Structure 1
Amino acid sequence: MIKRFILGVFVLTTSAILAQRNSASPYSYFGIGENFEAVTVEQASMGGIGVAMKDYHHLNFTNPASNADLRAATYAIGGSLTFLTVKEQNASQTGNSTNLRYISLGFPIGKKAGLSVGLQPFSSVGYSLLDDANADDVTLFTGEGGANKIYASFGMYAYKGLSIGAEAGFIFGNIENNILNQRANVALATKHKESFNVRGGQFKLGLQYKTELKNKLQLSTGASFTMSTDLSAKGSEKMYSLSFSGSGQEIPRDDLFNRTLDGNINVPLKSTYGFGLGKENKWYIGINQEFQSALGSNSVFIANGSSHKYDDSSKFAIGGYYIPKINSISSYWDRVTYRAGLRFEDTGLLVKTTNNFTAVKDFGINVGLGLPLPRQLSNVNVGFEYGQRGTTNNNLIKENYFNVRLSLSLNSINWFQKKRID
């Protein structure tokens, strides 16, 4: 029964991820949209660490080598609710978005290996920007869509304490950008519409090593490398005139041009390193450092310096968890996992201002709880994040956001075992 339930939820949530619009950020205007960090709610609640973390009953999206530590079949689903306040120098606006962040299924293969498969958002476009500084010339910028990633990840122990892993993924999605311009005393408006499909593979390699120190302390180190890949971007671009009906519906008129788009987007090598120290089922503190070269393109999908450009990006995260007493009988709250973390990020995006380019930076403070369920090691995870992105300097936009994250992690050692009748 539980297998059928999990399969049904997996199919329904897969459809939801593929159909959702999960960004309200003005910064999703650039490139292929707002990038999603591939972390679980548990990891996000600790600032996004995990490249060195070993866990027997939670999935880890940062390092495929962590699959070697799975000891029970694990189904995980996570989502988030984002409250966003966008500020300019003299104005502000609020919005929100709700989305599913991942659905994944992992299970052990023997005692020294594990496999996980799943679906995650890769990027998202969802913006609506109005330029009405000149009342006689009003322009509306809108965009929607994004890309998703389906993946399979495998990890195994190669030597005592040393695990290695690999992940293969396929990225796919559709993105549409529109620019609508209306001038005073002109009968027809003009619209520039760009739509394209994103396709491509992605591969990740990882390794982890854990050794035991004195007093049952465990030191773990890890690294993962997401290999450089080229995503194809094919679609169409057209500009046409239009009028509006009495109800506001667009009525297309004449095409000014209509042409095919064909290019690629280079996603460069991303390397993540980290280490952690802790006691099993008691406490853990870890540090992650991530580096990635500048995003590139030979197509029109990423501006060639006219409005923005990309530089190298980096991210630093520190966080951990604490469990008062995992096997407590007298107190439920002693069995709860308490998580916290910080995240500092240079996104690599530079937006052109009056005289130069301004870097967009991101910062987040995270806390969370892992609430155990009565059945085995399953739990509900709740996370909260307050963050800031961008700046109001140089006529740019600053985002203040508050994320509420929720995930369900179901564990069982019986899902893939055939029952025997004595």
Structure 2
Amino acid sequence: MIRNILVALFLSMSCFMVGQRTSSSPYSYFGIGDEFSSRTVEQNAMGGIGVAFSHYKYLNFTNPAAYANLRYTTYSLGALNNDLKVKSSTSTQSSTSTSLSYVAFGFPIGQKAGFAVGLQPISTVGYSLTNSLEDASGTLTQITLFEGNGGVNRIYGAFGIQAFRGLSLGLEADFSFGNVENSVLTQRRGVALATRYNENTNVRGGSVKLGALYEKVLKNNLKVSAGASLKLANDLRVSGDDYFYSLAITASGSESPRDTLSSSRINGRFNLPLQSTLGVGLGKIDKWYVGLEYEMQDALTTSGILANTTGAYRYDNSNRISLGGYYLPKINSISSYWDRITYRAGVRFEKTGLSIDGSGTNTNFTAINDFGISFGLGFPLKRLSTVNLGFEFGKRGTTENNLIEENYFNLRLSLSLTDINWFKKRKID
């Protein structure tokens, strides 16, 4: 009965996740939007590490080989609250958004394999930007409004198996889907009608990830681990329609379309190159762990997409380095609940690969970097289930070159419900 209720809850949450708008970042204007990290709340609380980490009850979104060590059926539901302060050289604005981060569950298959499926958003679009032009006397001559909404989600399945003693291999396949709408409204002084360019697109594509994880137990129960994952190169296909038309804007702000000036079909692509993640770790099971991780990817390319034709931005190579871990004082403590809490912390630095020209000359590009410090707590419930909290403070971008700096605080929450193995035969006394 409980299992049926959980399945129904996860399905209803999945439907809500597909339709949510979860970003207010100006950087969601670029590409397929503001991209989410494909990591659990527990991983994000440790700076985003995971490729060299495995656990018998926690899911791992970084390395599918880690599921070879999964020993319990685990349901996991994650949520994110983002407090964002956007700062330019002249003004500051704040916003808050709340969204579901993922719905997933995994289960062991025998003693040497595991499988997981889930649904996650991978990007979201939710921006509203205004650009004003003035003449030499300071009179407003033109105002342009850029707006966008939508996002891309992925559904995936991952499998891991212990191939040799200490060595596990994994495979993950996913399908990405979503809708993105971009529009540009322009109103000129002294002109009766405004113009709007509207682009509605569907995004579709699939990808495959390969993973490997090696773990060896040393003296004093120390365990050393090394992991790697390769997300193979893939394309996200973009198709849809664009319309350019004139319209009248009333005093109340409502729009009345007039004439269609042009329309066409859109057929574009995001070409995503190979993404590699490498990591090492050291620790004791259910006591402590420290891991170091490095991720790299060549510059992605695009074609047939509205924003890419402006020349105001470009993609470069991207990389990320993360350091983090956890500490668990005493997992089976009877006298102190606080000794059974898992304490997590981490730090990361990321070159996003996005470079923007704020000068308007299309020659002076500034790289957009992201830096974050994270902390977390894992509160044990009955049996092996946990409630996990994660806190992250970070900064993205810069106010140099007429750009925008974002200071954010992410509060993450996950519920990890652990059940017995579905495939374990029950015995009746």
TM range (shorter): over 0.9
Distance in 1 separating the partners of 2:133 and 2:188: 12
1:230-288 CA-to-partner distances (Å, cap 9, x unmatched) read 11110111110111245422111101101101121101110000000001110000011
Distance in 2 separating the partners of 1:298 and 1:399: 28
- Report if the CA contact (8 A) 1:73-1:416 is conserved: no
Aligned residue in 1 for 2:404: 397
Aligned residue in 2 for 1:388: 395
- Report if the CA contact (8 A) 1:20-1:99 is conserved: yes
| TM-fit CA distance, 1:76 | 0.3
Aligned residue in 1 for 2:62: 62
- Report if the CA contact (8 A) 2:232-2:274 is conserved: yes
Distance in 1 separating the partners of 2:119 and 2:306: 25
Aligned residue in 2 for 1:315: 320
Aligned residue in 2 for 1:157: 162
- Report if the CA contact (8 A) 2:357-2:401 is conserved: no
Q: Does 1:297 align with 2:302?
A: yes
- Report if the CA contact (8 A) 2:113-2:159 is conserved: yes
Aligned residue in 2 for 1:324: 329
**Greater shift after overlay, 296-305 or 255-264?**
296-305
Aligned residue in 2 for 1:358: 366
For residues 20-39 of structure 1, the aligned pairs below 5 Å read: 20-39=20-39
For residues 183-198 of structure 1, the aligned pairs below 5 Å read: 183-198=188-203
Aligned residue in 2 for 1:240: 245
Code of the residue aligned with 1:410 in structure 2: it is: L
Distance in 2 separating the partners of 1:415 and 1:80: 30
For residues 13-412 of structure 1, the aligned pairs below 5 Å read: 13-134=13-134, 135-301=140-306, 303=308, 306-354=311-359, 355-374=363-382, 376-412=383-419
| TM-fit CA distance, 1:131 | 1.2
Distance in 1 separating the partners of 2:255 and 2:232: 44
- Report if the CA contact (8 A) 1:32-1:301 is conserved: no
| TM-fit CA distance, 1:4 | 1.1
- Report if the CA contact (8 A) 2:242-2:263 is conserved: yes
Distance in 2 separating the partners of 1:301 and 1:378: 46
- Report if the CA contact (8 A) 2:349-2:370 is conserved: yes
- Report if the CA contact (8 A) 2:349-2:371 is conserved: yes
| TM-fit CA distance, 1:224 | 0.2
Distance in 1 separating the partners of 2:332 and 2:413: 24
Distance in 1 separating the partners of 2:206 and 2:197: 30
| TM-fit CA distance, 1:132 | 2.5
**Greater shift after overlay, 177-186 or 101-110?**
177-186
- Report if the CA contact (8 A) 2:53-2:225 is conserved: yes
- Report if the CA contact (8 A) 2:184-2:198 is conserved: yes
Distance in 2 separating the partners of 1:313 and 1:53: 23
Code of the residue aligned with 2:291 in structure 1: it is: G
1:202-233 CA-to-partner distances (Å, cap 9, x unmatched) read 10000000011221111000000001001111
- Report if the CA contact (8 A) 1:78-1:100 is conserved: yes
Aligned residue in 1 for 2:137: none
| TM-fit CA distance, 1:353 | 2.7
| TM-fit CA distance, 1:418 | 6.1
Code of the residue aligned with 1:54 in structure 2: it is: S
- Report if the CA contact (8 A) 1:51-1:62 is conserved: yes
Distance in 2 separating the partners of 1:30 and 1:55: 36
Distance in 1 separating the partners of 2:196 and 2:307: 19
Code of the residue aligned with 1:362 in structure 2: it is: D
Code of the residue aligned with 2:369 in structure 1: it is: K
| TM-fit CA distance, 1:402 | 0.4
Distance in 1 separating the partners of 2:378 and 2:92: 35
Distance in 2 separating the partners of 1:241 and 1:194: 15
Q: What secondary structure is seen at the aligned counterpart in 1 of 2:299?
A: coil
Question: In structure 2, do the counterparts of structure 1 residues 18 and 136 end up closer, same or farther at CA, with 3 Å as the change threshold?
Answer: same
Distance in 2 separating the partners of 1:261 and 1:267: 19
Distance in 1 separating the partners of 2:332 and 2:377: 17
Distance in 2 separating the partners of 1:75 and 1:61: 13
Distance in 1 separating the partners of 2:164 and 2:310: 49
Code of the residue aligned with 1:125 in structure 2: it is: V
Distance in 2 separating the partners of 1:406 and 1:220: 27
Structure 2 length normalisation: TM-score? 0.96
Identity %: 54
Distance in 1 separating the partners of 2:393 and 2:257: 43
Distance in 2 separating the partners of 1:196 and 1:273: 34
| TM-fit CA distance, 1:421 | 5.0
RMSD: 1.3
- Report if the CA contact (8 A) 1:86-1:400 is conserved: yes
Question: In structure 2, do the counterparts of structure 1 residues 279 and 420 end up closer, same or farther at CA, with 3 Å as the change threshold?
Answer: closer
Q: Which runs of 5+ in 1 are unaligned?
A: none
Distance in 2 separating the partners of 1:5 and 1:414: 17
Size of the aligned set, in residue pairs, is: 421
Code of the residue aligned with 1:407 in structure 2: it is: S
Q: What secondary structure is seen at the aligned counterpart in 2 of 1:151?
A: strand
Distance in 1 separating the partners of 2:309 and 2:169: 39
- Report if the CA contact (8 A) 1:265-1:299 is conserved: no
Q: What secondary structure is seen at the aligned counterpart in 1 of 2:94?
A: strand
